[in-house]
Amino acid sequence: FIRHGKQELTVMKKQKKIFSQIADEKSPEWNKFLGLMKKMVVDSNAAAQEKGLEAVLVYIENSAVAGKTVGEVMSGLVTKCVAAPKTKTKELAAQIALMYVEIEKQEIVMEELLKGTEQKNPKIVSGCVNIMTQAIREFGIKAINIKPLVKRLPALLEDRDKTVRDETKVMTVEIYRWIGVALNPQLTSLKPVQVAELESEFEKVKGEKAVPTRYLRSQQAKQAKIVEAAEVDEGGDGDECDDGGAQDIDPYELMVPVDILSKLPKDWQEKVEAKKWQERKEVLDALDQMMQGNPKLENGDYGDLVRALKKMVTKDSNVVVVALAAKCLGGIAGGLKKRFQPYATACIAGLLEKFREKKQSVVTALRDAVDAMYISTTLEAIQEDVIAALENKNPSVKAETAAFLARCFTKCTPVILNKKLLKAFSAVLLKTLNESDPTVRDSSAEALGTAMKVVGEKGISPFLTDIDNIKMTKIKEACDKAELQVKQPKVVAKKPAPAAERPASAKPSAGSTAPKPVKRPDGSATKKPAAGKVAAPKKATSSGASASTKNKAPVEREMSPEEVDEKAEAIFPPDLLSGLADSNWKNRLAAVEQFHQLL
């Protein structure tokens, strides 16, 4: 295939021409060239290499099998192109990497570029960082997983090479543009001077709306419709419907998990059962200190630890120890989040009952703990324990449980707070709404008002019977004040379809940032109805037409993956959706169980 100087150059030019002439993206002709892609990228002749990169770019943009080459081509780009002396070579390397992202191979692209940041040659490192920055800027963080990049930031920002540090600084600011203050906890290990420098740069982009300028192939059809709709609606803003824009990121997702179980002293179990409360407090202080610096915990068997802490919360006679044990229990629940699910139900009942304690430090610690535990469980799972606590004789237990339930409702959608649960909770809250203790009444009104905010007045009205006007006013006031923490489903008014479809736009050039049509095999001949059938006049009577209309079964419109994602985000809590896609099977299992409970 490759010989010497001029021959190489001629061959590369010829390959580009051949690739440009293949009209069908699924043509078997593309398969003939799969093994040549890396050779074209790593050619030792600079001029031939440049023409080879141009040919590879055309291949990736137009071939349906191009994704098979991503690993070897990206490896060649990192070692032979990103640090090349010629600017054109470096630019083409970046365009090829971004084109692979466009055809949905972003994970492998970012993985190879991240490997490149571990190379000894600083020019390769800075080149890889530069391309990753471009990928984030153009495609956004819904397409590009930034978690592995964030973990590498501190090391790259302290690199010996100034160019590497400067390029990483640019990438850090770009990531901040998308996720905002969620990035800050990841920069705490940097020197104060570096933090001050970055904060100065962050101020320049603060409040700036980050939106992608380029889209994955799967997103392009939707974006084209958005643009078209914006043009039909004069003055319409397509950005409002944009998919892939800046989103809220939980700082927890970017943190490195820490194993605290291995750091516990061997005699930990003996110390938590010591007779002197000072000794029990001392071991809890050490545990609390470990979790304060490491809010995300590693997977492990926390059963013994959780059981010991729960016993201290529910049985210990010293309020200082109880408060500290509750704080540690909340820290573990917060550090594990969804992974705390196996322990949540067993703990919540005991903690709700402990609200009989009047010491404010204990009450505060218990509130934080049950709130952290609710993240890992569901309303249905804790329903019996909550109702039992609302029926407790102690007014403090009733008041705090109702307040806890109100906070749970703020994290609900109408699908989560379904009629069955709403009926059960409303029935017991109506009883506590008539208690003699004013705190119990206020907390009950707050819970009912928050539920009203979630399902609407119409949704809760059938369950609010025999309530006087004063209490109903109180519930409605609580409804107005309630602030829901999850996105509620939106009712979108459908616009009538335009009378005629617009003709498809011309194919953009390689590396275009505009949504573009991809060549598909022409199947119009098999899908198009016969001309005679289309032209045939309707001879049926009006009654016949009416009958045929009735008999015609409604056809459901097939939704795009983006529309499915949008509807899922409106119905299900964000932690459930992220859990379903989690790399850890235990987290996925917990999410599936939660999903099953919701259904």
Evaluate whether 293 touches 331 at the Cβ level (below 8 Å).
no
Q: What distances in angstroms separate CA 391 from CA 364, 377, 433, 460, one per listed residue?
A: 22, 21, 12, 21
Domain boundaries, the chain: 1-203, 264-375, 378-485, 570-596
Report whether pLDDT(446) > 90: yes
Report whether pLDDT(266) > 90: no
Q: What is the mean pLDDT of the chain?
A: 84
Q: Mean of the pLDDT values across residues 471-485?
A: 93
Q: Same fold for the domain at 1-203 and the one at 378-485? A: yes
**Whole-number pLDDT of residue 558:** 66
pLDDT-based confidence at residue 252 (cuts at 50, 70, 90): confident
Look up the CATH number of domain 264-375.
1.25.10.10
String of DSSP letters for 299-362: S---HHHHHHHHHHHHH-S-HHHHHHHHHHHHHHHHHHGGGGHHHHHHHHHHHHHGGG---HHH
pLDDT tens-digit readout, 57-67: 999 999 999 99
- Residue 431 CA to residue 562 CA, distance in Å, equals 45
pLDDT tens-digit readout, 116-168: 999 999 999 999 999 999 999 999 998 999 989 999 999 999 999 999 999 99
* Strands of 218-288, DSSP E: none
One-letter amino acid for residue 383 of the chain: Q
Within 8 A by CB and 6+ apart from 443, the residues are: 398, 399, 400, 402, 403, 406, 432
- Residue 21 CA to residue 470 CA, distance in Å, equals 78
pLDDT tens-digit readout, 217-229: 988 888 877 777 7
Burial of 289 (0-12, 13-18, 19+ CB in 10 A): exposed
Within 8 A by CB and 6+ apart from 216, the residues are: 101, 102, 103, 104, 106, 139, 143
**Whole-number pLDDT of residue 13:** 83
- Residue 307 CA to residue 113 CA, distance in Å, equals 45
**Whole-number pLDDT of residue 579:** 73
Specify the fold of 1-203.
Answer: Leucine-rich Repeat Variant (1.25.10)
- Residue 290 CA to residue 306 CA, distance in Å, equals 15
Angle of CA points 159, 133, 135, to nearest 5° = 145
Report whether pLDDT(595) > 80: no
**Whole-number pLDDT of residue 175:** 94
Taking the model in full, what pTM does it have?
0.63
Report whether pLDDT(571) > 80: no
pLDDT > 70: percent of the chain: 81
Specify the fold of 378-485.
Answer: Leucine-rich Repeat Variant (1.25.10)
- Residue 468 CA to residue 459 CA, distance in Å, equals 19
